Structure 1
Amino acid sequence: MNETLLLSLGIMAVGLLGCVVPVLPGPPLVWLGALFYGWKTDWAQITPLFLGFLLILALVGATADLWMGFLGAKKGGASLGAQLAALGGGLIGLIVLSVPGLLIGSIGAIVAVEWFRLRDWNAVVCAGGGYLAGYLLAMVVEVVIALTMIGLFAAKLFL
């Protein structure tokens, strides 16, 4: 294997790790690895069109934790107000506690709004748990998307 391919695969491996470590942007790093390989090989096998397709996958994967958390909260019975509060709570949590604060702030906001709205701990737990389930499922989606991107990259090179 040549140095360019090894470096590209290394970037992709860090991206795959980033799917479960919230500090690293998983699928975008996988895309960056493919971009690097295409650029260093003068787009011989990895074309701009192929990179465009991988970019779409990367964007879906990179944003999965945002929209899947909200879908989970909605499925758990959270009101629209609680979901919107989760945006603000997540942002404040991110600023105060870094990446873990995003999750803590989002769930905390959903729990607070639903408690003041319903005063029913069962409903509050369902709404907050729904957000958490969606967020965790998003990690699985990110891993699947990153592996798909790596598989497509390998197929483009070796098939």
Structure 2
Amino acid sequence: MEPLTWLALVLVALGVLGAVLPLVPGGLLSVVGVLVYWWSTGYAEPSVLLVAVLVGVGLLTMLVDYFGGAIAARAGGASALTTAAAVLVGLVLLLVAGPIGFVLGLAATVFAVEFAQHADAEAGLRVALYSTVGVLASTVVQVALTGAVFVALALVVWL
């Protein structure tokens, strides 16, 4: 196998890994891997239609990565202030305590801000739960999407 083919497969595999690891752009790595492979074959494999679909899936993954948690928080009733505060605290705790710190920091911040705004513990807990589940669900969706890109590219390479 050509070195560029290996590079493309590694990039797409890192895309799947990046879907789970915070601050690693899984969707972007998947798109770059597909484009590297396509370029390495002289734009012969895969077909233009499949490249378009795989790039579209990669772009959808990026949207889910950037907006999935915020959409879930808003769906649960979180205010824009709550969402912004939770993202900020989550990112700081991500650097200090890793992914668990991010998730716990997000949930605690959403609960604290919502409780401070409305003095309703039940509503704060509900919004915190929606936000946390949304972030975790967006990760699952990202893994599924980047995994599909990896499988599709692997099939093109080996079949």
Question: Under a length normalisation based on structure 2, what TM-score does the superposition of the two structures give?
Answer: 0.78
Contact 1:90 1:104 in 2 (8 A): no
Q: How large is the RMSD of aligned CA atoms in angstroms?
A: 2.8
Alignment of 1:23-62 (within 5 A): 23-47=23-47, 49-62=49-62
CA distance 1:97–1:68, change in 2 (3 Å): closer
Alignment of 1:9-158 (within 5 A): 9-47=9-47, 49-76=49-76, 78-79=77-78, 81=79, 83-91=80-88, 94=91, 98=95, 106-158=106-158
Contact 1:85 1:106 in 2 (8 A): no
**Residue 5 in 1 paired to residue 2 in 2?**
no
Contact 2:110 2:127 in 1 (8 A): yes
- Give the AA of the match of 2:135: Y
- Give the AA of the match of 2:27: P
CA distance 1:121–1:66, change in 2 (3 Å): farther
SS of the aligned residue for 1:42 comes to coil
Contact 1:28 1:62 in 2 (8 A): yes
Percent of pairs with identical residues: 29
Contact 1:15 1:26 in 2 (8 A): yes
Structure 2: runs of 5 or more not aligned: none
Query: By how many angstroms is 1:123 displaced?
Result: 1.8
CA distance in 2, matches of 1:93, 1:131: 12
SS of the aligned residue for 1:19 comes to helix
Structure 1: runs of 5 or more not aligned: none
CA distance 1:105–1:52, change in 2 (3 Å): farther
Query: By how many angstroms is 1:128 displaced?
Result: 0.9
CA distance in 2, matches of 1:93, 1:136: 13
CA distance in 2, matches of 1:120, 1:95: 26
Question: Under a length normalisation based on structure 1, what TM-score does the superposition of the two structures give?
Answer: 0.78
SS of the aligned residue for 2:21 comes to coil
Query: By how many angstroms is 1:39 displaced?
Result: 1.4
Query: By how many angstroms is 1:27 displaced?
Result: 1.9
Query: By how many angstroms is 1:148 displaced?
Result: 1.3
CA distance 1:47–1:84, change in 2 (3 Å): farther
- Give the AA of the match of 2:39: W
